[in-house]
């Protein structure tokens, strides 16, 4: 006989936080948003923590190497998607690991014979401030100069002119040897008023140090880096080809893996976890999911998952609930799984972090999720809006959008993720557009500021304290009506001083 739970499935949108006592200690400088990513002994630090508790969804429309670098700079972590050939995914991981904190490898390299028009188009495609000029147009070629938008204007100088007509030649540039440290490099940048400092080894360019990276580092303080100061990056895997995919990703340098499935409560995920543990012991971190209740959490935790993702059908691009009638309100799912996580930690002495994946339509929903006990959040639509996401930007009726599609859509054709054989029989995700929002750096900074302010209003300075002391109340339909009363906003005049 079927079991019917005595509950109403609740979303994050159905809760509000009650203010707590804001003390003198509750200042933005004292708030610590860092979170554990992988399992650890309860009461001790996790071997992998992130300063910004936000990770990118394992989606082709979201997690490119470019976004992974930007998110690691901001203190978060990206998961390169697995809906691609193994070699291609491993190359994406390597592309991120080539970046040391503060030291960038160039995404734009051209020959001296390239035209200014070609350079302009390349810089726009990769959204980079400067292109490297080498004798053969490859990253391994002899370094001969730099060229950026400040060096030319295609209408003034002509699209057909060669790069050599406007580039800054190596002899003009101030460079530094590969032995230099980041602090010394930044000193040179500020002392000599540079926007970019080439780091060279003989006649080869090793990396670039950018002034803007220094400014972003000051804003976020703690980038996500490994012991070698390389940016951290995660990678998705599936329960079908893990015996080939996992070794390739480990060799490429992935810091953490995650099984990517809409429903992770399966023996197939256990088999994949068993393989990782038998092959690598505890040296390779791998998360699992997704789940919506405590029994599924315990199953994956006991199978060796380093973290567990929570959420089925709650994502903006997901239609699993509509197609299969499976899922649970994200708030209800978190409450159940958090209780199971804490019970597991009390019984075993091992804390297995949980990740809220889905149901996060607004920034304040993240705060609600943290109050309910999630350790970090995974976001798709949020990151798909940014310059760093790999999808195309389109202008429609005067407004810019970014393309965004679910891994269960026909566009993704990710049959492995949904267990539908070799082809998708029906869709569990849709293909659409999201409003363009600009740079990741600015938006993540704004979100951090909002969550920080919420913690302060609730009298907390850490996410753990926030979870332990937060008081929440369910929101009635009448409350929704009051909060959403229509107000016609007037246009702000340019000289109004507002």
Q: Whole-angstrom distance between the N-terminal and C-terminal Cα of the chain?
A: 63
Helix axes 211-220, 440-457, angle to 10 degrees: 20
Nearest CA-CA partner of 458 in 27, 35, 24, 21: 21
Residue 343, φ and ψ in degrees, nearest 5: -65, -40
483 prior amide bond cis, ω within 30: no
| Known catalytic residue at 318 | yes
Alpha helix (H) residue ranges in 43-199: 65-73, 86-97, 116-126, 154-157, 182-191
| Known catalytic residue at 94 | no
Q: Are 390 and 61 contacting, i.e. CB atoms less than 8 angstroms apart? A: yes
Residues 6+ apart with CB under 8 A from 286: 237, 246, 256, 257, 258, 259, 272, 273, 276, 304, 305, 306
Residues 6+ apart with CB under 8 A from 334: 310, 354, 356, 369, 372, 373, 374
Q: Which of 230, 417, 448, 458 is catalytic?
A: 417
CB atoms within 10 A of CB 23: 12
Q: What whole-number distance in Å separates Cα of residue 79 and Cα of residue 288?
A: 13
Which helix (H) or strand (E) segment is 201 a member of? strand 196-201
CB atoms within 10 A of CB 24: 6
DSSP state at residue 488: P
Q: Which of 26, 258, 318, 355 is catalytic?
A: 318
Q: Is 196 helix (H, G, I), strand (E, B) or coil?
A: strand
Positions marked catalytic: 318, 417
């Amino acid at each position: 006989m079927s079991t019917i739970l005595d509950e109403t499935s609740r979303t994050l949108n159905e809760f509000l936080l009650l203010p707590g006592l804001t003390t003198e200690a509750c200042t933005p400088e004292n708030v610590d948003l860092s979170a554990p990513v992988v399992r650890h002994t309860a009461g001790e630090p996790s071997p992998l923590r992130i300063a910004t508790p936000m990770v990118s969804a394992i989606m082709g429309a979201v997690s490119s190497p470019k976004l992974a670098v930007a998110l690691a700079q901001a203190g978060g972590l990206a998961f390169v998607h697995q809906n691609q050939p193994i070699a291609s995914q491993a190359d994406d991981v390597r592309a991120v690991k080539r970046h040391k904190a503060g030291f960038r490898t160039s995404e734009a390299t051209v020959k001296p014979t390239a035209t200014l028009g070609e350079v302009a188009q390349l810089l726009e495609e990769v959204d980079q401030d400067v292109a490297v000029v080498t004798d053969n147009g490859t990253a391994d070629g002899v370094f001969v100069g730099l060229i950026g938008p400040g060096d030319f204007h295609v209408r003034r100088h002509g699209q057909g002119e060669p790069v050599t007509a406007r580039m800054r030649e190596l002899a003009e540039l101030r460079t530094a040897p590969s032995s230099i440290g980041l602090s010394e490099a930044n000193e040179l940048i500020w002392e000599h008023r540079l926007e970019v400092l080439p780091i060279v080894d003989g006649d080869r360019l090793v990396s670039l140090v950018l002034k803007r990276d220094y400014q972003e580092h000051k804003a976020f303080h703690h980038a996500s880096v490994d012991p070698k100061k390389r940016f951290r990056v995660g990678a998705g895997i599936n329960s079908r080809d893990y015996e080939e995919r996992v070794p390739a990703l480990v060799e490429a340098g992935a810091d953490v893996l995650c099984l990517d499935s809409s429903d992770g409560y399966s023996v197939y995920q256990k088999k994949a976890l068993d393989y990782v543990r038998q092959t690598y012991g505890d040296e390779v971190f791998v998360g699992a999911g997704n789940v919506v209740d405590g029994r599924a959490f315990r199953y994956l935790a006991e199978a060796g998952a380093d973290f567990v993702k929570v959420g089925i059908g709650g994502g903006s691009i997901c239609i699993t609930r509509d197609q299969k009638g499976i899922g649970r309100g994200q708030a209800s799912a978190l409450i159940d799984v958090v209780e199971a996580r804490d019970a597991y930690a009390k019984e075993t002495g091992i804390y297995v972090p949980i990740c809220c994946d889905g149901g996060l339509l607004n920034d304040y929903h993240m705060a609600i999720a943290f109050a309910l006990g999630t350790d970090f959040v995974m976001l798709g639509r949020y990151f798909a809006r940014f310059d760093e996401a790999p999808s195309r930007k389109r202008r429609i009726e005067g407004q810019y959008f970014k393309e965004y599609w679910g891994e269960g859509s026909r566009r993704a054709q990710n049959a492995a993720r949904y267990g539908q054989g070799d082809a998708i029989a029906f869709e569990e995700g849709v293909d659409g557009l999201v409003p363009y929002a600009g740079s990741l750096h600015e938006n993540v900074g704004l979100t951090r500021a909002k969550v920080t302010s919420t913690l302060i209003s609730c009298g907390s300075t850490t996410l753990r304290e926030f979870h332990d002391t937060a008081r929440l109340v369910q929101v009635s339909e009448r409350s929704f009506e009051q909060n959403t009363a229509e107000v016609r906003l007037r246009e702000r005049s340019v000289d109004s001083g507002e």
